[in-house]
Amino acid sequence: DSLEKLAMVGSGNFGSALVRILGQNALRHDIFDNEVKLYVYEEMIDGKPLTEIINETNENVKYLKGAKFTPNVKAVPDLAEAVKGATMVCFCLPHQFLKPLMPTIKESVAPGAKVLSAIKGIDFDDNGVVLISDLLRQGLNADCSVLMGANVANDMASDQFCETTIGYKDAKNGELFKLAFDAPALKVGTVPDTVGVELCGALKNIVAIGAGYSDGLGYGGNTKAALIRIGLKEMIKFCKMFYPTAGIDDDTFLESCGVADLITTCFGGRNRKCAEAYAKANKAKTLEEIEAEILQGQKLQGTLTAKEVNHILKMKNLERAPRFLSDRRAHPGAPLFATPTALCLSLVP
């Protein structure tokens, strides 16, 4: 048959919020097969497999409690079975878990399957930034779109209106994924710029650390707004400097993945929160101690990304590139935290 078969790899908080929409849209639009498969890394909840609980209750009780899937969302603990014959595969899991899964996925999906990454983060190798979408393209030999935006999962799950952005290389696939995600409470914008969209999702976390630090020091709205604005300009500059031929589009930064996600992350989110606590503790605690207290085992994306961005700038001998590092030399009076990246680098050992 010629129906598009949807699958989601990853069943955490955000992946579950996204697959809930996919389930609704698979029923809404004729071009999709009704069944949407959700790969779940199996775990036992009170002695019962999580996949069984999801399939019986239509709810991911562990990672998205209180939100119901439509019954056509089927949780599957076996990866090969979860993506078998899928023509549109979405990814939403921590990127370090991705590589070992790819051979199985490549063997199991339908020929010509297209994929979408909703993974917020970037990887690094000896040559610099490695985009997760490029890992997927290479590992699966597939066209890959990306989805990023101001999308706090729990608010999405209660159908509070929000937007998201899909960046595509192949316009037809971009439109297909838009159809799969666009919903009454989730308005999808599309842009022909996967790199800009994907980098926004990673770099905003650096700025959020700066915003939290400003909050922790007791500075008001002027300072925080300046920091967010400079951070946005730094994000744009970084993208253009390191991807001069990727077709980075200024408009991308005015999409949900850009300014909107940046705002959400700088006013909510764990990066902001930990940095605020760190500033309030006034060096009585390390950032690592704060992370351990507040995040209970999870790691801050913002500090990891800042460290890696700093490493790249050093490698390229650009550590003093304007804006993305401290511009205190140009503006000696400006407080250090006026440049978010400089701030983050001062926090990272």
> Which residues are identified as catalytic?
204
Beta bridge partners of 88: 6, 114
Asked if 259 is part of the footprint of a copy of itself (rule: CB under 8 A), the reply reads yes
Instruction: Indicate which single residue of 78, 155, 249, 319 sits in contact with a copy of itself (rule: CB under 8 A).
Output: 155
Asked if 220 is part of the footprint of a copy of itself (rule: CB under 8 A), the reply reads yes
Asked if residue 346 lies in contact with residue 303, where contact means CB atoms within 8 angstroms, the answer is no
Q: Cα dihedral sign for 211, 213, 218, 223?
A: negative
Instruction: Indicate which single residue of 143, 198, 215, 261 sits in contact with a copy of itself (rule: CB under 8 A).
Output: 261
Instruction: Indicate which single residue of 73, 79, 113, 162 sits in contact with a copy of itself (rule: CB under 8 A).
Output: 162
Quick one: 85 or 335, whose CB is closer to a copy of itself? 335
Q: How far is the CB of 273 from a copy of itself (least distance, A)?
A: 13
For residue 65, what are the contacts with CB-CB under 8 A and spacing of at least 6? 59
Quick one: 179 or 334, whose CB is closer to a copy of itself? 334
Asked if residue 338 lies in contact with residue 229, where contact means CB atoms within 8 angstroms, the answer is no
Asked if 110 is part of the footprint of a copy of itself (rule: CB under 8 A), the reply reads no
Asked if 255 is part of the footprint of a copy of itself (rule: CB under 8 A), the reply reads yes
From the list 266, 233, 274, 262, the residue with the least C-alpha distance to 250 is 233
Quick one: 187 or 307, whose CB is closer to a copy of itself? 187
E-strand spans in 40-132? Answer: 44-45, 48-49, 73-76, 88-91, 114-117, 123-125, 128-130
Asked if 147 is part of the footprint of a copy of itself (rule: CB under 8 A), the reply reads no
Known binding residues for substrate are: 120, 270-271
Asked if residue 36 lies in contact with residue 90, where contact means CB atoms within 8 angstroms, the answer is no
For residue 103, what are the contacts with CB-CB under 8 A and spacing of at least 6? 139
Instruction: Indicate which single residue of 110, 130, 179, 225 sits in contact with a copy of itself (rule: CB under 8 A).
Output: 225
For residue 165, what are the contacts with CB-CB under 8 A and spacing of at least 6? 147, 148, 149, 188, 189, 190, 191, 197, 252, 255, 256, 257, 258
Asked if 197 is part of the footprint of a copy of itself (rule: CB under 8 A), the reply reads no
Asked if 226 is part of the footprint of a copy of itself (rule: CB under 8 A), the reply reads yes
Instruction: Indicate which single residue of 110, 241, 263, 321 sits in contact with a copy of itself (rule: CB under 8 A).
Output: 263
- Encoding tokens for residue 249? 């589009």
Instruction: Indicate which single residue of 268, 295, 307, 321 sits in contact with a copy of itself (rule: CB under 8 A).
Output: 268
Site stretch for a copy of itself (CB under 8 A), options 104-112, 197-205, 262-270, 283-291: 262-270
Quick one: 160 or 286, whose CB is closer to a copy of itself? 160
Question: How far, in Å, CA of 141 to CA of 10, rounded?
Answer: 20
Asked if residue 54 lies in contact with residue 38, where contact means CB atoms within 8 angstroms, the answer is yes
Q: How far is the CB of 332 from a copy of itself (least distance, A)?
A: 8
- Encoding tokens for residue 263? 């705002």
Asked if residue 23 lies in contact with residue 70, where contact means CB atoms within 8 angstroms, the answer is yes
Instruction: Indicate which single residue of 160, 286, 298, 346 sits in contact with a copy of itself (rule: CB under 8 A).
Output: 160
Asked if residue 38 lies in contact with residue 82, where contact means CB atoms within 8 angstroms, the answer is yes
Site stretch for a copy of itself (CB under 8 A), options 1-9, 221-229, 241-249, 287-295: 221-229
Distances (CA, A) of 309 to 28, 109, 222, 347: 42, 34, 27, 14
Asked if 233 is part of the footprint of a copy of itself (rule: CB under 8 A), the reply reads yes
- Interaction site with a copy of itself (CB under 8 A): 150-152, 155-156, 160-163, 183-185, 187, 219-226, 228-230, 232-233, 236, 250, 253-256, 259-261, 263-264, 267-268, 331-335, 338
